[in-house]
Homo-oligomer: A and B are copies of this chain.
Amino acid sequence: MKKTTIYDIAKKLNLSAATVSRSLNNHPRISSKTKKEVLRIAQELHYEQNHLAKALQSGKSFIVGVIVPRIDNNFLSSVIRGIEDKLKDFDYHVIICQTHEDEEKEIENINTLLNIQVDGFLLSTCLTSIKHSELLDKIIKKNIPLVYFDRKMEIEGASSVIIDDFKGAYLATMRLIDNGATRIAHFSGNREIQIYNDRLNGYLQALNDAGLCVNLDYVIQVKSSLDDGVEAMDKLFNLEFPPDALFSSSDFAAFGAIQYLKSKNINIPEDFLVFGFGNENFTKFDELSISSVNQFPLEMGRITAEVFLDIISKSTIKNKVVKNIVLEPELIERKSSLKVFQFSGA
């Protein structure tokens, strides 16, 4: 059986397709009698709007493209959920693309989404070099809303929703210091990516403010993976003076670090303090109990979607809405960074 269109229901009611269309869209100056009839017949005939036709006609696809490094972690999948939850009330659909931290793949994804004419880009980017600014400019030029979340780039005309990574890092490091650490190592990410650079700077600032000297041997760049955490920890413990604490910009790497420490029978938090970042699901489990920084992923997703909707609805050709939102991080302290009481006789 053929799909029913507005023409079918127009014919049945001796109306024009335009009137049917208007009725369906609840146009103000259509008699409510007509509207009711149209609605009735529409149901009767199991009418369903053809989004494709509407999209072609309106120039909008009602699809937004979400590009992330990967989806198999709690943080990003929660952000995505936040985005979806918000957007579904506005009839937008979401296409998710993964870059696997590969810049080429991200370019490819952007082009694909450009191709299917998404109405907006929501990006947690892994792009670093400015050689890609051309592509991003294309998005801006085409007036497609571009909202970064978590990981942004500085692009004229792009919006962003991030947390204050510097602050999160600063506070986390400070907690380690407060709790007695003096030789704090740091797992950094790719420093061309702003969040990792910010976290590094927060860490450095905290050391500085506490009057601790910075040992660059303690700063190691890792990928957000357990393997890298293990390996990096091994490096640190082959130094002449190994650290006594770790602030990791990745929970996964922190997990790896803890694996390593346990294998060496180094006790946490008695002998070594650990603070992670991201508040991944596994951090809260007893055996790990990793202190971490909460980035409020659901909220971040929701707000990212809201910024997009704002741009869509309020932007004019003359006046482009651009929002840059910074969320507050929250420290979640678990066993791994607990203060160890020293019974110094006094």
Contacts from A to B (Cβ < 8 Å): 48-53, 55-56, 61-63, 70-74, 77-78, 80-81, 84, 88, 93-98, 100, 112, 114-117, 226, 255-256, 258-259, 262-263, 281-282, 285-287
A61 touches which one: B52, B100, B115, B287 (CB < 8 A)?
B52
Expressed in whole angstroms, the minimum distance between the Cβ of A48 and any Cβ of chain B is 6
For the complex formed by this chain, how many copies does it contain in all?
Answer: 2
**A286, B81: Cα distance in complex, Å:** 32
Nearest-neighbor residue (CB-CB) of A46 within chain B: B138
Q: List 10 tightest A-B contacts by C-beta distance, closest first.
A: A72-B77, A52-B56, A71-B71, A96-B96, A52-B55, A51-B116, A56-B56, A71-B77, A259-B287, A95-B95
Expressed in whole angstroms, the minimum distance between the Cβ of A204 and any Cβ of chain B is 30
Q: Which residues of B have CB within 8 Å of A100?
A: 81
30 A-B pairs with C-beta separation under 8 A: A49-B115, A50-B56, A51-B116, A51-B117, A52-B55, A52-B117, A63-B95, A63-B116, A70-B77, A71-B72, A71-B80, A71-B96, A72-B77, A72-B281, A84-B97, A94-B95, A95-B95, A95-B96, A96-B96, A226-B281, A226-B282, A226-B285, A256-B285, A258-B287, A259-B285, A259-B286, A262-B287, A263-B287, A282-B282, A287-B287
Q: Which residues of B have CB within 8 Å of A255?
A: 282, 285
**A78, B226: Cα distance in complex, Å:** 18
**A94, B63: Cα distance in complex, Å:** 12
Nearest-neighbor residue (CB-CB) of A60 within chain B: B52
Q: Which residues of B have CB within 8 Å of A98?
A: 77, 81, 84
Contact between A93 and B71, CB atoms less than 8 A apart: no
Expressed in whole angstroms, the minimum distance between the Cβ of A237 and any Cβ of chain B is 15
Contact between A263 and B282, CB atoms less than 8 A apart: no
With A50-B117, A51-B117, A255-B282 given, name 15 new contacts (CB 8 A). Answer: A51-B116, A52-B116, A52-B117, A63-B116, A71-B77, A71-B80, A72-B73, A72-B281, A93-B112, A94-B96, A95-B96, A226-B282, A256-B285, A258-B287, A262-B286
Nearest-neighbor residue (CB-CB) of A258 within chain B: B287
**A96, B66: Cα distance in complex, Å:** 11
Expressed in whole angstroms, the minimum distance between the Cβ of A28 and any Cβ of chain B is 25
**A215, B70: Cα distance in complex, Å:** 42
Nearest-neighbor residue (CB-CB) of A59 within chain B: B52
Contact between B51 and A115, CB atoms less than 8 A apart: yes
Expressed in whole angstroms, the minimum distance between the Cβ of A63 and any Cβ of chain B is 8
